[in-house]
Structure 1
Amino acid sequence: MPVQALSTLKSGSRLMKKAVAIACSAAVILPMAIVPAQAQRGKLPLVRDAEVEALLKDYAKPIYKVAGISNSEPQIILVNDKSFNAFVPDSRRMFINIGVIMEAEAPGEVIGVIAHETGHIAGRHLVRLRSAAANAQIVSVIGMILGAGAAAAGAAAGSGDAASGGAAAALGAGSVGRRTLLSYQRGEEAAADRAALRYLNATGQSARGMLKTFQRMSEQQMFSRKFADPYAQSHPMAQERFNGLLNEAQKSKYFNQPEDYVLQYRHDQARAKLYAFTSHPSATLRAYPRSDKSPAAQYARAIAAMKSRGKGAVKEIDALIRTQPNNPYYYELKGQALLESGDPKRAIAPFRKALSFKPNEPQFLVWLGYALVGANEQSYLPEAEKVLKRAIQMDENSGIAYSQLAIAHGRQGERAEADLATAKGLMVRGDFEAAKRYAARAQKSLKRGSPAWLQADDIVAYKTPKLPRNR
């Protein structure tokens, strides 16, 4: 299905011609749970979390290398859907539902999914939409993501449920995963299977995890499609095909190799985090009771405490930090807890600490900028502006960064710059008409022909793409 780019990146001064509307209005930073964002109809509900994204990147890196696509690593994008599903719309994107991580008990199960999907990318398999997904909402989402060509799809545009504190819990009323977006021809599926086995063997990893996923798919074919995972429906797995894979996999000398201990630990942490942020605190405490002393359980309970807005949340997070004083994600969580308790000034220090461990993490920069602006002290605003602009350079589709930058500009009396930042943030959210209004207002006070004026002009001149009609 040919897809026209939403906009193009021009040479010269028009660096902002590239539209940033890439179905991000329903995207969140997880654990961002501060500013409510309204999920627009037809937008793919995406999730941003530095910790989970880093884990998936580490899962994928060796697979990409042996597959010969490491020079243009496909970006893995998290979808806020608890069903087990993954798909690739092109050679640059791999979408994975958070349900894949939450259901997988071991890293190998997720790595197997990544290896299989990588097989489709490396094999340049034609991806075709299932008829069930041929509607305006889904087609427009895929078209936007393919056309935008942005380096970081699904950037932060707010939270899903500020009241509950669980950013990902309330977003995406319709389950994209359950619609089974994409499927492949059976021959391409078999080719991806074989490629995945090669990748796993070449990287010295066992295929047991992949087989566990595929075995579940095979078993689900015996039941009504109503109860089958979308991944099983879009990746048909007959028992004969599974048996063939099993025979091939068992020939590998790595078949009985145990899971990597460090990856297993990180996987458990990611599962606990996703569960806690997408579940009610009481459900989290049932799944991770006080009797469970594992680090993952402590992590989940600390998040549940923060979501409950209890006074002991920071205390529980401090206990986590004492166990791992070099874990940047614990400091990130502490900063968020302080922000949500109404103390942004105290949140600055933990966000700085998180950045001391990962200075180039744009999501940490957004957090720090948010806290600096929230502290509401004039002396902090120049730094907030600098930090947020740096975050945007790394992730130009961060709606939160643009909105906070607009506030920083506004409080410094820079009205035109504030309007331009607001316009850019609205483009990220997909609110094109409002973006044009703010851009036009910014233009009136900007020097004609300046870089900022041209950026505003690009937004004013942007033509909203026509979406296909429902059939």
Structure 2
Amino acid sequence: MASVLSMALLLPLAITPAAAQRGKLPLVRDAEAEALLRDYAKPIFKAAGIANSEPEIILVNDKSFNAFVPNSRRMFINIGVLMEADTPSEVIGVIAHETGHIAGRHLVRLRSAAANAQIMSVIGMIVGAGAAAAGAASGSGGVASGGGALIVGAGSVGQRSLLSYQRGEEAAADRAALRYLNATGQSARGMLKTFQRMSEQQMFKSQYADPYAQSHPMAQDRYNGLLRDAQKSKYFDQPEDYVLQYRHEQVRAKLFAYTSHPSATLRAYPRSDKSPAAQYARAIATMKSRGKGAVKEIDALIRSQPNNPYYYELKGQALLEGGDPKRAIAPFRKALSFKPNEPQFLVWLGYALVASNDNARLPEAERILKQAIQRDPNSGVAYSQLAIAHGRQGERAEADLATARGLMVTGDFQAAKRYAARAQKSLKRGSPAWLQADDIVAYNPPNLPNRR
């Protein structure tokens, strides 16, 4: 189990494997992309009055342009939003709209069930609702057949199950988004571009219109309704922030390189393209193709930006994949020197320490992985590596408990219960560890609320 889970960290874009195997939406973990989204969202959350309880932004491994909110605590954004958007303002417009739903308390129907659920339970609820809508629309009782059917359904889940509000609520979220953008001195052109994109897609799909999605105003109507007010803003012609634009292009290139074949990356970012984003993408492509020059290309990136922690993260990963975990330790430590509280860097370092096969490093690995989990309890890979560290030190019950907690994160609740039950047999009854195991044994995923 530990070896299977550890495979998820072969990319900084750690896709939870158990979730993918069961057809649920897999998640993507990447420190750079998540930091960018937080910086996009922070002023919006402040303008909306929810800065003291900021929703967690979670990336979903789906290339469709979509986002959704199941409750006031979480906002799911497909990687397709970052990959398709040409500018930061397009992504910020999406975040502003979803924030409008949160601030407007449009989430009553799912809030009670999803409030305290594991993230993978929430995703299961979302997929279940999307499948139910698809089944009802087709006259069948299940999910459409075909290998790609579930992926397609998942891409429209945001519209079908969570954002299928009344037209008034959808319009209210649009208006709220405009207010947030104006209050933060940002242009609404990006949000308008999103509606243009949606309108073009709907033109081709109108003959197959889904009746369950018609509670949304049509994209062209939404565009027309917002255009005049957006143009009244003194910030409408505000240019893109060049720093955010640079970071956006870096993340787009990174996502493309990790989710595409290396040859496709080299076509999209040819050697003639000398931009930092292109060099970044090509270095990742070389690493993915097991090219011997990957570290050399990454070192060139580091020389160009010696204070970029994500380049050191990439170098550490390349060394890990190249079978040299001991050398990977140093670049991960360097990345942490720039961002000491970044939990994913801590996970990387813990992973390298465990993989070094040096038992003297195991206590440090255990400490660092626990520190990572404290900052980010949703890292299944951190739990799997912690389980290995405990196991090698002869701490069987602690290893079982760490494995159970990791399985909870990835959504394999039944396997988690088995490991937790086994851990309980060797843990002191009533101890904090025993109580954690007991919580897992007693956990039941919430049921999807009835839809009307």
TM-score class, shorter-chain normalisation, is 0.7 to 0.9
> In 1, Cα distance between the equivalents of 2:239 and 2:167?
31
> In 2, Cα distance between the equivalents of 1:57 and 1:30?
21
Partner of 2:293: 312
1:82 maps onto 2:59 in alignment = no
Query: Is the partner of 2:260 in helix, strand or coil?
Result: coil
Query: Is the partner of 1:147 in helix, strand or coil?
Result: coil
1:296 maps onto 2:273 in alignment = no
CA displacement at 1:282 relative to structure 2: 0.3
1:405–1:421 Cα contact (<8 Å) kept: yes
CA displacement at 1:465 relative to structure 2: 5.4
> In 2, Cα distance between the equivalents of 1:368 and 1:339?
11
Partner of 1:39: 20
Pick the aligned partner of 1:115 from 93, 96, 100.
96
Cα deviation code 1:212-260 (max 9, x no counterpart)? 111222333322248999xx97853354542331111111111111100
Cα deviation code 1:278-318 (max 9, x no counterpart)? 00000000000000000000010011011101101111111
Query: Is the partner of 1:39 in helix, strand or coil?
Result: helix
Alignment of 1:351-370 (within 5 A): 351-370=332-351
Alignment of 1:156-305 (within 5 A): 174-175=151-152, 176-179=154-157, 180-181=159-160, 182=162, 183-225=164-206, 235-305=216-286
Partner of 2:391: 410
1:225–1:233 Cα contact (<8 Å) kept: no
CA displacement at 1:190 relative to structure 2: 1.6
Unaligned ranges ≥5, structure 1: 1-23, 130-141, 155-169
1:28–1:48 Cα contact (<8 Å) kept: no
CA displacement at 1:95 relative to structure 2: 1.2
Moved >4 Å (runs of 4+)? 24-30, 32-38, 126-129, 142-145, 149-154, 170-173, 225-229, 232-235, 463-470
1:100–1:110 Cα contact (<8 Å) kept: yes
Q: Which amino acid is 1:291 matched to?
A: S
> In 2, Cα distance between the equivalents of 1:172 and 1:364?
35
Assess, with a 3 A threshold, how the Cα gap between structure 1 residues 42 and 297 changes in structure 2: closer, same or farther. same
1:73 maps onto 2:54 in alignment = yes
1:45–1:172 Cα contact (<8 Å) kept: no
Identical columns (%):
82
Partner of 1:101: 82
1:127–1:184 Cα contact (<8 Å) kept: no
1:109–1:212 Cα contact (<8 Å) kept: yes
Cα deviation code 1:128-177 (max 9, x no counterpart)? 79xxxxxxxxxxxx9975432679999xxxxxxxxxxxxxxx99962411
> In 2, Cα distance between the equivalents of 1:323 and 1:226?
52
Query: Is the partner of 2:63 in helix, strand or coil?
Result: coil
> In 1, Cα distance between the equivalents of 2:10 and 2:165?
31
Of the structure 1 ranges 194-203 and 97-106, higher mean CA displacement relative to structure 2 is found in 194-203
Partner of 2:45: 64
Query: Is the partner of 1:222 in helix, strand or coil?
Result: helix
Cα deviation code 1:366-392 (max 9, x no counterpart)? 110000000000110000000001111
Partner of 1:385: 366
Partner of 1:371: 352
Partner of 2:116: 147
Cα deviation code 1:200-219 (max 9, x no counterpart)? 11111111111111122233
> In 1, Cα distance between the equivalents of 2:338 and 2:148?
30
Looking at secondary structure, tell me which structure has more helix per residue.
Answer: 2
1:397–1:428 Cα contact (<8 Å) kept: yes
Assess, with a 3 A threshold, how the Cα gap between structure 1 residues 290 and 143 changes in structure 2: closer, same or farther. farther
> In 2, Cα distance between the equivalents of 1:467 and 1:215?
33
> In 2, Cα distance between the equivalents of 1:362 and 1:422?
19
Query: Is the partner of 2:21 in helix, strand or coil?
Result: coil
Assess, with a 3 A threshold, how the Cα gap between structure 1 residues 241 and 285 changes in structure 2: closer, same or farther. same
1:27–1:46 Cα contact (<8 Å) kept: no
CA displacement at 1:467 relative to structure 2: 7.0
| Count of residue pairs the alignment pairs up | 418
Assess, with a 3 A threshold, how the Cα gap between structure 1 residues 428 and 351 changes in structure 2: closer, same or farther. same
Partner of 2:135: none
Pick the aligned partner of 1:437 from 393, 402, 418.
418
**Greater relative contact order (Cα < 8 A, sep 6+):** 1
Cα deviation code 1:72-129 (max 9, x no counterpart)? 1111111110011111122222111110111100001111111111111111124779
2:312–2:332 Cα contact (<8 Å) kept: yes
Assess, with a 3 A threshold, how the Cα gap between structure 1 residues 378 and 284 changes in structure 2: closer, same or farther. same
Q: Which amino acid is 2:102 matched to?
A: I
1:442–1:456 Cα contact (<8 Å) kept: yes
> In 1, Cα distance between the equivalents of 2:281 and 2:208?
28
Partner of 1:20: none
> In 2, Cα distance between the equivalents of 1:126 and 1:399?
28
Query: Is the partner of 2:70 in helix, strand or coil?
Result: strand
Q: Which amino acid is 1:43 matched to?
A: K
Partner of 1:327: 308
1:106–1:259 Cα contact (<8 Å) kept: yes
1:395 maps onto 2:376 in alignment = yes
1:27–1:47 Cα contact (<8 Å) kept: no
> In 1, Cα distance between the equivalents of 2:360 and 2:60?
38
Query: Is the partner of 2:415 in helix, strand or coil?
Result: helix
Partner of 1:9: none
> In 1, Cα distance between the equivalents of 2:249 and 2:18?
29
